[in-house]
Amino acid sequence: MTRAAAFFDLDKTVIAKSSTLAFGRPFFQGGLINRRAVLKGAYAQFVFSLAGADADQMERMRRQITAMTTGWDVAVVHEIVRETLHEIVDPLIYDEAADVIEAHRAAGRAVVIVSSSGAEMVEPIGEMLGVDRVVATRMVTRDGQYTGEIEFYAYGENKATAMRDLAAEQGWDLADCFAYSDSVTDLPMLEAVGHPTAVNPDRGLRKAAAERGWPVLEFTRPVTLRSRSAAARTPVVTGTAMGVGAAVAGIAWYARRRALRTPAGGVVAAVALPAPVPPIGRRRPRGA
């Protein structure tokens, strides 16, 4: 059993776009949304890439997505996501984020994705990245269709609550855990751990990080996982991981190095990955 974990927000922290909006075109091609929705999603993606999403924008996006998905067939959504995952998401993964994830694995920590996007998107992405757990938004389904209701919204304080519950279940001391996010809306998530780091922070989070003395990283190189040769790479903590204390120092050194190199300027509960284990306290919907 690992004694600590590293928690990662997904959008603009591990991948370069909104995971929910990235699937707009496949959903259109699969007949789930119309062309107008695709265009609105493309515009939202553009705004998100420039400035992130504040609380009001996230709330508008949540309402739009829940209204749009009402009546969708759960099995069809899962099928579309799995068929297009590598084409849509693989090229968006930040090389630097993959390095940090590898460093935490080398230090013996569990890796957890914590995202407000839907489990339908986040779970397969988590499997692709090989993370240990996923926390994401969970929507209500009935008779194989989405009802438009949200059972659990992985946003704001809810993220921190899910992290505390998962830490209690797994025996992790949050004071020894790490967290990474780009958004000021994730302050509860970052404040829940002993080692918070702002990644590609929006204006609000950059200010909060400066006030609290948190490290700030800038991730700028999206790559495909296929382009990352494990044999050609040396783990970030190699030569430094001499016991738990030295491993922590290796991660902190990596964060400072990144900060110096680049000047600072949507639906489910936790599930084990990659094994197809249903979410804790909930059966996976038919067709998942």
**Domain holding 67: CATH number?**
3.40.50.1000
Annotated active-site positions, please? 9, 11
Q: Return the higher-pLDDT residue of 215 and 124.
A: 215
255 inside domain? yes
Q: How many domains does the chain have?
A: 1
Average pLDDT of the chain is 74
Largest separation between any pair of C-alpha atoms in the chain = 55
pLDDT at 243: 35
Task: Report pLDDT for 198.
Answer: 98
pLDDT tens-digit readout, 176-187: 999 999 999 999
Query: Residue 193 pLDDT > 90, yes or no?
Result: yes
The verdict on residue 280 lying in a domain is no
Q: End-to-end alpha-carbon separation of the chain, Å?
A: 28
Region 86-111: what's the mean pLDDT? 91
Q: Which range has highest mean pLDDT (81-85, 94-98, 231-235, 244-248)?
A: 94-98
Q: pLDDT band for position 165 (50/70/90)?
A: very high
Which of 48-57, 106-115, 225-234, 264-273 has the highest mean predicted lDDT (pLDDT)? 106-115
| Average of per-residue pLDDT across 211-216 | 97
At residue 190, the 3 state secondary structure works out as: helix
284: in domain: no
Tell me the pLDDT band of 196, cut-offs 50, 70 and 90: very high
Q: Which residue has the higher pLDDT, 21 or 241?
A: 21
The lowest-confidence range among 57-66, 106-115, 118-127, 242-251 is 242-251
pLDDT at 139: 84
pLDDT in tens, 3-16: 899 999 998 899 88
Q: Where are the alpha helices (DSSP H) in 4-118?
A: 19-22, 24-29, 35-51, 55-69, 74-88, 95-106
**In 3D, which of 208, 170, 244 has the Cα closest to residue 5?**
170
pLDDT at 133 over 90: yes
Choice between 52 and 71, residue whose per-residue pLDDT is larger: 71
Residue from 184, 8, 198 nearest 103 by CA: 8
Please indicate whether residue 112 or residue 287 has the higher confidence score (pLDDT): 112
Tell me, what's the pLDDT at 170? Answer: 95
Identify the pLDDT of residue 20. 60
In a domain, 30, yes or no: yes
pLDDT tops 50 at residue 267: no
Average pLDDT over residues 137-144: 88
Q: What's the confidence (pLDDT) of residue 147?
A: 86
Rounded CA separation 118/78 (Å): 11
pLDDT for 239 equals 35
Domain of 25, in residue numbers: 5-272
As given in the structure block, the two tokens for residue 107 are: 């230090």
- On whether residue 13 sits in a domain, the answer given is yes
Tell me if 174 sits within 8 A of 191, measured CB to CB.
Answer: no
Residue 41 lies in a domain: yes
The reply to whether 286 falls in a domain is no
What whole-number distance in Å separates Cα of residue 186 and Cα of residue 181?
A: 7
Assessment of whether the complete model's pTM goes beyond 0.85: no
| DSSP for residue 91 | G
